[in-house]
């Protein structure tokens, strides 16, 4: 007899989609060249600017977040330009791959898994660039593969002092942690629909500064569908260069209204609270976190090693089979060595308590010695009960 369990998606993306957002995608299709769609896009862009805390131009691309990253690389640089990538995990390495694909002279500042970018190291490296050959610095706001939050503000300060473009992948970090685009002087920021926006995958939202737009004038790299200049030109009229993902835009409009009603302060506090609850619970169970630094801990996901003698893949499989809870694997060299618990987007305290309670049972059944049922749950409760 087949066992019935409800599904709970606890990964850092795609994240669960609220019912009202899902239903928004079932609205009747409209012409993307119509007046009502133009108004929808113009209103949505203004709402996105408010959430992103920016007056910079914002475009919506019908692509994954990686498509937004590629659009930035191909639109803002010329072949042979020198760039710096500061990477703390798998998605930082994606910047490296993209830059090399487009023929950029790529310098890499790489950190061990679990460590954050050191702004002073970026400063020292840029200080050696006396001829100002480095045209852009790429880094992640939040690296989900290693559960690390970079200090965007401090990194941006040293990059701005040098004069290079500040380019931030905030796909998983936006709304989980604070991001002040204008105040911190960020030139390009990319976000994605399937993270804290609580949408299915398929949209990238990109905020572009006047400096970045100026840099586009010197770009000689090939781009067509993922052309930021074309997208910016059309966005000013509430349009897109090509047919957009209309249903996803309906959903984005609904999600942005939900997020705006909640308010940025509440959204950030919610993610902070869930992060502390998960980390406190895992530590109370004697488990080792990949990133033990609470200051640089991702507010979107927590990465944890399995207890000694237990297998990370088996833990994830048991959580899925017995309890319907999906957790993330590690990536690259960390695959099978860690598992990751997402707490991003449409996740609430009840979900966290359920995950910790079920994890305790799984760990006990797999033979973790000395585990006390309820100890992790109580640690999470102690955090979540605070006013």
Domain positions in the chain: 8-15+263-384, 19-261
Q: What is the mean pLDDT of residues 69-85?
A: 99
Q: What is the mean pLDDT of residues 123-129?
A: 98
pLDDT at 227: 98
Q: How many other C-beta atoms can be found within 10 angstroms of the C-beta atom of residue 107?
A: 17
pLDDT at 3: 72
d(CA 196, CA 173) in angstroms, rounded, equals 8
pLDDT at 247: 99
With pLDDT > 70 as the criterion, what percentage of the chain qualifies? 99
In this structure, are residues 51 and 264 in contact, taking their beta carbons and an 8 Å threshold? yes
Q: What is the dihedral of CA 139, 144, 48, 136, to 10 degrees?
A: 10
pLDDT at 83: 99
For residue 265, is pLDDT > 70? yes
In this structure, are residues 52 and 174 in contact, taking their beta carbons and an 8 Å threshold? yes
Q: How confident is the model at residue 5 (pLDDT cuts 50, 70, 90)?
A: confident
Task: Match domain 8-15+263-384 to its CATH number in 3.10.20.30, 3.50.50.60, 3.90.1150.10, 3.40.605.10.
Answer: 3.90.1150.10
Report how far Cα 126 is from the mean position of its chain's Cα atoms. 26
pLDDT at 158: 99
Q: What is the mean pLDDT of residues 137-146?
A: 99
Q: What is the mean pLDDT of residues 53-79?
A: 98
The SS3 call for residue 122 is helix
Of the two residues 2 and 123, the one the predictor is more confident about is 123
Q: How confident is the model at residue 107 (pLDDT cuts 50, 70, 90)?
A: very high
Q: Annotated binding residue at 288?
A: no
CATH of domain 19-261: 3.40.640.10
Q: What is the dihedral of CA 52, 193, 150, 208, to 10 degrees?
A: -50
For residue 1, is pLDDT > 80? no
Q: Strand 57-61 and strand 325-326: pairing? A: unpaired
Alpha-carbon Rg of the chain, whole angstroms?
21
Q: Strand 339-342 and strand 204-208: pairing? A: unpaired
For residue 124, is pLDDT > 90? yes
d(CA 209, CA 167) in angstroms, rounded, equals 10
Do 8-15+263-384 and 19-261 come out as alike in CATH topology? no
d(CA 148, CA 144) in angstroms, rounded, equals 7
Q: Which residues pair with 109 in a beta bridge?
A: 86
Report how far Cα 66 is from the mean position of its chain's Cα atoms. 11
Q: Which of 181, 198, 180, 94 is closest to 144 using CA atoms?
A: 94
For residue 103, is pLDDT > 80? yes
For residue 215, is pLDDT > 70? yes
65-76 vs 228-235: helix crossing angle, rounded to 10? 100
Q: How confident is the model at residue 160 (pLDDT cuts 50, 70, 90)?
A: very high
For residue 222, is pLDDT > 70? yes
Contacts with 35 (C-beta within 8 Å, 6 or more apart), sequence order: none
For residue 27, is pLDDT > 70? yes
pLDDT at 16: 98
Q: What is the mean pLDDT of residues 326-334?
A: 97
For residue 387, is pLDDT > 90? no
pLDDT at 2: 65
For residue 188, is pLDDT > 70? yes
152-162 vs 119-127: helix crossing angle, rounded to 10? 10
Average pLDDT, the chain: 98
């Amino acid at each position: 007899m087949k066992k019935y369990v409800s599904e709970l998606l606890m990964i850092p993306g795609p994240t669960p989609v609220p019912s009202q957002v899902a239903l928004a995608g079932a609205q009747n299709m409209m012409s993307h060249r119509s007046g009502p769609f133009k108004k929808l896009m113009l209103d949505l862009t203004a709402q996105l600017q408010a959430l992103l805390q920016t007056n910079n131009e914002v475009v919506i691309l019908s692509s994954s977040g990686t498509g937004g990253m590629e659009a930035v690389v191909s639109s803002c640089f010329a072949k042979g330009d020198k760039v710096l990538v500061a990477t703390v995990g798998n998605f930082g390495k994606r910047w490296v791959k993209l830059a090399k694909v487009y023929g950029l002279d790529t310098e890499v500042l790489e950190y061990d898994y679990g460590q954050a970018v050191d702004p002073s190291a970026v400063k020292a490296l840029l200080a050696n660039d006396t001829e100002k050959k480095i045209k852009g610095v790429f880094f992640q706001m939040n690296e989900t593969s290693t559960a690390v939050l970079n200090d965007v503000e401090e990194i941006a300060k040293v990059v701005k002092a040098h004069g290079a473009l500040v380019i931030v992948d905030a796909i998983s970090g936006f709304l989980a942690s604070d991001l002040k685009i204008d105040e911190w002087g960020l030139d390009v920021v990319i976000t994605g629909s399937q993270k804290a926006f609580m949408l299915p995958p398929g949209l990238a939202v990109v905020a572009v500064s006047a400096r970045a737009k100026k840099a586009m004038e010197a770009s000689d790299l090939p781009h067509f569908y993922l052309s930021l200049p074309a997208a910016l030109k059309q966005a000013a009229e509430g349009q897109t260069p090509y047919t957009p993902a209309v249903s996803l835009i309906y959903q984005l409009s609904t999600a942005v209204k939900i997020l705006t009603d909640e308010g940025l302060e509440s959204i950030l506090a919610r993610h902070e609270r869930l992060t502390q609850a998960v980390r406190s619970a895992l530590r109370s169970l004697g488990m080792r976190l990949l990133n033990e630094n609470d200051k640089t801990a991702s507010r979107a996901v927590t990465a944890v090693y399995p207890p000694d003698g237990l297998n990370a893949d088996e833990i994830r499989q048991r959580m899925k089979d017995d309890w319907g809870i999906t957790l993330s694997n590690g990536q690259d060299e960390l695959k099978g060595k860690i598992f990751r618990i997402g707490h991003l987007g449409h996740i609430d305290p009840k979900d966290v308590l359920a995950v910790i309670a079920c994890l305790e049972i799984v760990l006990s059944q797999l033979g973790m010695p000395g585990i006390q049922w309820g100890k992790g749950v109580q640690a999470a409760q102690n955090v979540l009960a605070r006013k």
